[in-house]
Amino acid sequence: MAVAVSPVVGAGLPRTVGASLRVPVLTGERVEYANLDHAAGAPCLEQVRDAVDELLPWCASVHRGAGFASQVSTRVYEQAREAVRRFLGARDSDSVVFTRNTTDALNLLARALPRRTAVVLFDTEHHAALLPWRGPHVRRLRTPGDPAAAVLELDRALREAPVGPRLVVVTGASNVTGEVWPVAEVVRVARRRGARVVLDAAQLAPHRPIDLRALDVDYAVVSGHKLYAPFGAGALVGRSDWLRAAEPYLVGGGATARVTDRGGRLGVSWSNGPERHEAGTPNVVGAHALATACDVLARHWAQTLEHERVLLARLRDGLRSVPGVAELSLFGAGHDRVGVVGFTVGAQDVGYLAAALSAEHGIGVRDGAFCAHVAVQRLAGGPALRASIGLGTTEEHVDRFVEALRRLVTEGSRFEYELREGRWAPVDDVRPLPPFLR
């Protein structure tokens, strides 16, 4: 999808809650927090916070409530489905099922597959997309070092798959490297081989517009906490037939159309709508927050794309100047990517570096395997660091991070650290906790 871009970095961007947050460092000072961990969880947008505050006085249990607040909450909840549908370019006939997150959504879909569905995926997926599929008809492919080769490997696997329903699982953007997968090419191969496609859009959706109709993708999953909404809300969006035919993901109130007592035996008719898989009192606040974030992001793609393009280039250029840094890549340094960079720093302990960046410089990055152990082990040979940018990232954050990392690598840390329960921490951590934790 073509999107015009603005030449002014940061101009007109939505603001995030905590954009001016100042955190303590070991010197006793407070510095502006440089959040370079957006890939794990993006801060809430101010518009999302305001929308939640506006809803809270009206918040009530949705569906079937006669009270006015319940009717308002029901309207909010159902309108949230339409906002998510618009954001992802989904078809009018697609179901929008609210879940807790991407992991929950993919587990739901895995439970809804017809019997003997052949599932094909690549082994460098995030655990949310790698682990839910079970049984003898699941084939995990080793990810080649070239996207065209990946598509050919997928085609071969689908040719060899058993006759019957087929599903291809593909990520939109790598959780480890930020590289964008060739989704359109994957879909074309899947269609030729009679397969459906589910897109793990958790890492792509905050950075790029998605149009499921244009891509001809059957299902997509997203997480609110990566889309500048609070944790605990996500969605599975896609074709309704498999979802209507499946047993409910959870059983209980809300998923039922009718329950009867037939001589001591319960008779149950399940709903055929998205609520079939939403048993229990739903998270109306989370759904409203997610929908608001989707609407806000959709109005700011031009600014977002330019902001991230400039900052990602600045980040990658800066990292190349740090001794020992090796950027992780599935498809090569020149491949298209979103604002996520995974890397190693020679023989340096990445957990120690992450701890020192936080304690001495007020910088948040991620270390470890990023819930993608196979990918990180293959690309890094062990734990790695990941820096990821978003709407709240500034040029100063990127520059401070690069300079702090360079100083740690060339000069070492100014303070002493020790391992505590497997994590590095300052020996004398004088940083005060916020008042609500004291």
Catalytic residue numbers? 371
What's the CA gap between 87 and 220, in Å, rounded?
11
Residue 20 is which amino acid?
S
What's the CA gap between 57 and 48, in Å, rounded?
15
What's the CA gap between 41 and 39, in Å, rounded?
6
Residue 132 is which amino acid?
P
What's the CA gap between 394 and 285, in Å, rounded?
30
What's the CA gap between 104 and 423, in Å, rounded?
28
Report the side by side order of strands in the sheet with 219-223.
Answer: 95-99, 234-238, 219-223, 196-200, 166-171, 118-122, 138-141
Residue 277 is which amino acid?
H
Nearest alpha carbon to residue 383 among 336, 417, 422: 422
Contact 73, 62 (CB under 8 A): yes
Q: Which two tokens stand for residue 379?
A: 């690309």
Residue 193 is which amino acid?
R
Please enumerate in sequence order all residues whose Cβ is within 8 A of that of 389, keeping only pairs 6 or more positions apart, or say none: 36, 38, 308, 311, 312, 315, 339, 340, 398
Q: Which residue, chain included where needed, has tokens 């794309």?
A: 305
CA atoms within 13 A on the CB side of 363: 29
* CB-count burial class (<10 Å; 0-12, 13-18, 19+) for 412: exposed
Contact 293, 229 (CB under 8 A): yes
The string of DSSP letters for 132-182 reads S--STTEEEEPPPSSHHHHHHHHHHHHHHSPSS-EEEEEESB-TTT-BBP-
Contact 292, 314 (CB under 8 A): no
Contact 31, 22 (CB under 8 A): yes
Helices assigned H by DSSP within 232-368: 240-245, 284-298, 301-320, 350-361
Residues in a beta bridge with 237: 96, 220
